[in-house]
Structure formats: structure tokens, C-alpha cells
Structure 1
């Protein structure tokens, strides 16, 4: 549907009609900002840690299929009193006990395997959650970037408007001095200047807030920003976009993996009602601390154990697993509906933003013509000062609407990508080193111990992450 999502994120800054200064070659592009957002995001780092936690669940499930070996030690004090033939005897002994016990699950009707596969499905679901968070981070970065540009252009527009109104005020005062206008005309110009000053202060406050939002979303202060000159190429077929979203949107894929995990949990709960077969072994030694006696023991056996009565706990867990599966199925259905709705909404917003931009361009052109004509007519005495001020306000409003429309088009275009599931660092070709969600999983999936080569490699990875 989309052959090239992002040809160029750079562009030229501002609109010619706004009279803004041209940007320098060192201006920052949207791609630069999104790279920083991806690298600096604490939210992404948090969810990467949650993914590593989910990876460890697989390791723990795998470990349950391996031998369990424990050591025991203890000191036992034995004391006894006996009475024989009228005589009392007191016997006291202290012994040291050492032992090693081991057990190995031989067969449990697949319960451990089901739990392992369920943990793997949860890992896959968590990976999709990470992609969803990545999309949120990047879309928030786009919004923060465009809001800084929007509010900076508002400030420039207000400053230019205030300059023009001050010129109008001086002209009105000069005409009043020669008797061409009344004091009312001067007061109207003074009011307009005061309102423009108020509007400029409000615009500067909005810019300050936009910069704060940029700092939070991108992780640093904004530089000189370029307005993107080219947008992602998007198909116009909404139905095709919805079909693509149903195939790849992370929210939907996450729900699918959660359903698969819930199904496996049901089978594990059913297997818990059946017996388990275990191989057991024990070796030990006991020695009296006074050195009078010493013994060694050892045993090897096969044990089958199964539930008879657990107070209804096992059947309750089975019903609970079924209810959780039903809930996940409902969430899958809702996720599909939400994804399709989001695609439709994002395309509608994009069409509306484009239409608004087109209309605003025409409004600016017409308002400029009207303002120029009104001002010219005022010099000939055919228009009043109020007419000029009204025309100036109409032009200001038209230009402000065009600024917002331009920013809204960019945000809406990237919102379409997010609704389809294609707003990721890899899809945008940002050229930043992306996080590999499978790298940590490959290290821990076999539950390595610290002394193994794989465990030592894992330890180095943890130190690099600053987690150990």
C-alpha cells in the first residue's frame, strides 16, 4: 500500500506569506527529532525492561523440567529418660546431619510444556506492546515537533501584526493632527495595538509550553526546526489500509498472542488434575559430635503423586483459566474493531486537515487582497480606521488558521501511519540503532546458570545495561 513511507523528513521552514526568515543549513529536521525521541525515551526503556522480565518467565518454565538438587544440613539434639529396675537413666546425644536431595519431573501429562509455551506467547505479546509504545513515543515526538513550529510561527505572526498595527497607530495619529480623522480613530488603533500585545504575550506563553513538551518528548531542547517539505506516502484506499492494519497492528497482534497464551493455560490447568511422575534421589551422612557413631544413607526411587482432594482449588483454577481465555477473546474482538476505527478516523482527520489547508490558503489570499484594498481606500478617505483594523484582523486570523492547518496535516499523516502500525523507527528509516527484542530472549530462554558460558555472556550483557 505504501512503497516509501518517508522519503525526506527535512524541508524548508515557514511560509512565504508569513514573511519568515529562511532557515540555515544546520536546521534540525523531523527525522533528527524522532531519532532523539527513540534514543532518549524513558517509556521505551521501561517497557524493554518489562519485556526482559517476560523473557525470564520462559527461562523459569524451562527450569521446571530440569533436575532440582538441594542440600540440607542440621544439628540434632536427642535426649531421653528411662527408668529400669528402679534406676533412672538419662541419655543425651548430638548429631550432625548432611544431605543432598534431588528430584526430576519425568511426566506430568504436558502441564510444564503448556506453561512453557504459554510463557513464550506472553513474550510475543509483550514484544507487540513494546512496538505499540514505540509508535506512541514517535507520534508524540511528531506532535511536539510540529507544535513548536506552529507556536513559533504564531509568535512571528503576532510580532509582525503588532508592528503593522503600530504603524497604523502612528498613521492615525498623524492624520488626527491634520484633522483627517477623529480622536475615535486614534483610540481604535490604540485598542488594536493593546490587544495585539496581549495576543503576542499569549503566543509566547504557548511557545514556552510547546518547548517544554518538546523537551519531554524528544529528550532535549529544540533547535532551529524545519517544517517537513514531504510527507509519508499514503494510499488513498481506506479499506486496504484497514486490511493492512488487521495484519500488522501491534495492538491486534498482542491480543492474538494473549488468546493463545490463555488457551495454553487452560490445558495446563486441566493437566494439573492428573498425576505426576518424579524420579527422586537422596544421599546423606550423620555423625555424633562426640565421635561415637557415624552413618551414611542413600536412596533412589520413582514417585507418582496425584491430587485426591484440594478443597476445589484445582477446578477453580481451571474455570478461572477459561474465564481469562473468554476475556482475551473479547479483547481481541474489541482490538480489531478499534484498529479499524482508528484507521478510518485518522484518514478522516487527514482529509479534513488537507481541506482546511486548501481553504486557509484561499482565505489568506483573499484576506490579503481585501486588506491591501481597504488600506488603500482609507488613504483616499473612503474607508475608516476601523475598517482597516478589521481587515488586518481578518488577515491575521486567516494566516493563523493556515499555520494550524499546515501543522495538522503533518500530524494527521503520521497518525495514519500509527493507526496502520507502521510508525516505527525501522519503518521510517530513521537510521538509528534499533532495540533487538529477541537478543535477550536468546540468551535466557534455556535458563543458563551463572557458571556456564552462556550465563557469563548474559552477565556481561546485564553489566552493559547497567542492571547488574
Structure 2
């Protein structure tokens, strides 16, 4: 038999375990925090800046290259009369590719397509981060409400146990009724412990997804979505980052094939130098070099075929990406419809179960119902309330999943109160390969310094 002091102790532990509601935190607050604190976004922003630098390096290949060199040597000769001479030379040399069949120009265009593809990859990561935050926020809310529901359930069963004991003492019920109530109370305590464990796990997931612990959850409404699944699929095929990422990858692969074919053409370059020795004798030279492949053992042809195969793989990948996006939209809408239907059915179930529970409890007080009948009716009401909580959470998550499937789950579309990352700002500073010490280079240094502080 469970003692009342033990029940009171369990209630105290439940109160201590429940996370305190410091303030009403909205879903928008959570999404803004996830956007600002995401290390995954920082990582992929850095990868985008690295892709931007590839454009700068490709542009640099089309510009003159100027180098300097100094050399000094000391010569000792003892053949006849011992002589020691020292020679010092300073040299400035330069080179410029005048014609390469368009290879360098195609390299620049290819790297630009890769930058655009990487930007879409970053947008996809942003969607993943925000959707994970939505799920974490709603799961914490679900588990907290489950804990409250289990706590209320335990209080009701405790009351039923006490009522069964009182009725047993006056001979209205048997010891079996008391034992049934005790067993149901023990089961309720087990379910409460499980709900508290799930809440603890949800809080840890929230911390990982958002970058801080959750506070009190506020109300969250489903995101507005298009009514037509077909319209949503058509929109997603045009705007989803996964599709646009592969589209730019295909364009880059096609440019890579053209660049590989350019390797078969001749190249024309200009080379020059100016040298000055320690006796101030000046030497200068300028010349042109023209050349191209005659025989390479089939290496260039093999490289072209390889690039063509990579292009074909990218095209097939685009088809796969489009199918996957359509499937995501369909799945998200199906989950949304199920959640909405479940919410409506749960409302009806709660109304009926509450009326049944109240009636059974009154009938039990009159002796026409057993303790088991009361406990079963209370369990029906508990299940209906739990289903309603789950349906509300599932509807919100499904609605934001629809936005993600359409490519709209971004800080810009949601108008989050955050400083949004400008994907073109860094590119605009480096795309023409600025020199160190130039005004643009100094602006770039300031940007990099600010990024390192962040």
C-alpha cells in the first residue's frame, strides 16, 4: 500500500523537476536565436567565402603576373692568380597570357556558378537550422504539457485511490478495487517519470538547436501555406535551394567541359624582364611565346570525357533533386492534413470522454460503477487530451515543414528580427581580386577582422 507521505514526496520532486517558465518565449524568438547562434551557419558562410575567393583567383589568372628577385654569388678561382669575385643581380620579370582559347575566362564563369551553387547550399542549411529550431521549440512545449497532464492524472488517481480506500473501509468495495487503484497510480508515476525524461531530452535538443536553454513557451500558430499541393510543388521546383544548387552545379560542369576543350587550342603569352647588376649594367627583354599540344598520350581527350561524364552526372542529379523536392512537399502536406484531422477528432473525443468520465464517477459514487470503470474512463480522457496536444504540435511542425519543402523557411521570408547575412557583400569585395593595401583591400581587411571577432 502506498503511503500518503510517499505520494507527497513524489509531488514535490515533480514540482522541482519541471523547468521554470521564466518568460513567455515566442517561436519567432527561438528562430531568431537559432539563426544568430548556429555554428553550422557560420561554418557554411565561411565555405561560401572560400568559394568567393576561387573567383578572385580565377580573375587573377587573367591579369599580369609580376615578380622580383635578387641574387648574389661569390666566385673563387685559384688556377693561376687567385681571384675572388662577387656578383649581385636584381631582376623584375612579368608575364601575361594573351590568348588561351578562352580557358581562363571559362574558369571565371565556372567559379561564379559554383559560388551561386554554394549560396543555395547555405540557404538549404538555413532552412535545416530553422526547421530544427521549430521542432525543438514545439517538442519542449509538447513534453511540458505532457508532464502537466501526467501530474493532473496522478492527482486524480490519488483521489480515486483514497475514495476506494474509504469505500473499502465501509464495505462498499473489495480490496481488489483498492489494488486496482494502487496499480494504476504506480503506472501513472511511471508514465510521469517517462514524460519528465522526454522533457529533459527535449530541453537538451533545444539547447543544441537554438544555442541556449528554453524559457517559458508561448502560443505558436501554424504557418500560412498554400491550399493547393500542386501549386506548392510547382513553386518548390522553381525556388527550392536544393534544385537551384544543382542547377548551378550543372552550369559549372558544362563550363568545365568547354574549358577542357580549350586545352586543345594554342596559347599565346608575353614574357619580359629587367635586370640590373652590381655595376649598374641594365638588361631588358620582352618576348612572345606561342604553343599548343601536339600529342599528350590521350590525356587531354580523357580529361574532356571525364568532364563530360561529370556534367551528365550533374544533370541526372538535377532530376533526382526535383523528384525529392516534390516528394518533400507531398509528405509535408500529408502530415499537415493528418494533424488537422487529428485535432478535430481529438476535440470531439475530449468532449465525449469528459462527459463519460464525469458520469461514470457519479455512478460509482452511487455504487453502480466500479473503481476500474472510473479509472478506465479517466484514462480515456487522458488519452484524448494527449492526442490533442500532439495534434497541435504536429500541425505547427508540419506547416513549417511545408515552408521548408517550398524553399521559404528563411529568415528573410519569416521576417525574423535578426541581422541577416548578406551573401553578396564579401563577394563584391573580392570578385575582382583586389590588391593588398588598396582601398578595397583595406575594406576587406576590416570585414575579415569583424568576422574574426564574431
Q: TM-score range by the shorter chain?
A: over 0.9
SS at match of 1:273: coil
Deviation (angstroms), 1:24: 9.5
SS at match of 1:426: helix
SS at match of 1:197: helix
Determine if the alignment matches structure 1 residue 384 to structure 2 residue 384: no
SS at match of 2:274: strand
Q: Partner of 1:155 in structure 2?
A: 147
SS at match of 1:267: helix
Aligned counterpart in structure 2 of residue 305 of structure 1, from 285, 288, 291: 291
**Distance (whole Å) between structure 1 residues aligned to residue 337 and residue 312 of structure 2:** 38
Deviation (angstroms), 1:92: 5.6
Please tell me whether the aligned partners of residues 51 and 123 of structure 1 are also in contact (alpha carbons under 8 angstroms): yes
**Distance (whole Å) between structure 2 residues aligned to residue 90 and residue 326 of structure 1:** 71
**What is the TM-score of this pair, normalised by structure 2?**
0.92
Determine if the alignment matches structure 1 residue 34 to structure 2 residue 26: no
RMSD of aligned alpha carbons: 1.9
Deviation (angstroms), 1:295: 3.7
- Structure 1: runs of 5+ lacking an equivalent: 1-22, 83-87, 288-292
Q: Partner of 1:50 in structure 2?
A: 47
Please tell me whether the aligned partners of residues 149 and 227 of structure 1 are also in contact (alpha carbons under 8 angstroms): no
SS at match of 2:25: coil
- Structure 2: runs of 5+ lacking an equivalent: 1-19
Q: Partner of 1:248 in structure 2?
A: 239
Please tell me whether the aligned partners of residues 51 and 118 of structure 2 are also in contact (alpha carbons under 8 angstroms): yes
Please tell me whether the aligned partners of residues 136 and 205 of structure 2 are also in contact (alpha carbons under 8 angstroms): yes
**Distance (whole Å) between structure 2 residues aligned to residue 127 and residue 153 of structure 1:** 39
Please tell me whether the aligned partners of residues 76 and 97 of structure 1 are also in contact (alpha carbons under 8 angstroms): no
Aligned counterpart in structure 1 of residue 255 of structure 2, from 249, 256, 264: 264
Aligned counterpart in structure 2 of residue 192 of structure 1, from 170, 184, 190: 184
Deviation (angstroms), 1:95: 2.1
Q: Partner of 1:365 in structure 2?
A: 351
Q: Which deviates more, 273-282 or 437-446? A: 273-282
Aligned counterpart in structure 2 of residue 341 of structure 1, from 327, 333, 336: 327
**Distance (whole Å) between structure 2 residues aligned to residue 313 and residue 457 of structure 1:** 43
Encode CA deviations 1:174-224: one digit per residue, 9 max, x unaligned: 111111111111111111111111111111111111111111111111111
Determine if the alignment matches structure 1 residue 284 to structure 2 residue 275: yes
Deviation (angstroms), 1:102: 0.4
**Distance (whole Å) between structure 2 residues aligned to residue 115 and residue 467 of structure 1:** 33
SS at match of 1:427: helix
Deviation (angstroms), 1:73: 2.2
Aligned counterpart in structure 2 of residue 438 of structure 1, from 420, 424, 435: 424
**Distance (whole Å) between structure 2 residues aligned to residue 309 and residue 90 of structure 1:** 52
Please tell me whether the aligned partners of residues 151 and 192 of structure 2 are also in contact (alpha carbons under 8 angstroms): yes
**Distance (whole Å) between structure 2 residues aligned to residue 243 and residue 235 of structure 1:** 11
Bigger proportion of residues as helix: 2
Q: Partner of 1:178 in structure 2?
A: 170
Deviation (angstroms), 1:26: 4.8
Deviation (angstroms), 1:358: 1.2
Deviation (angstroms), 1:93: 3.9
Please tell me whether the aligned partners of residues 21 and 217 of structure 2 are also in contact (alpha carbons under 8 angstroms): no
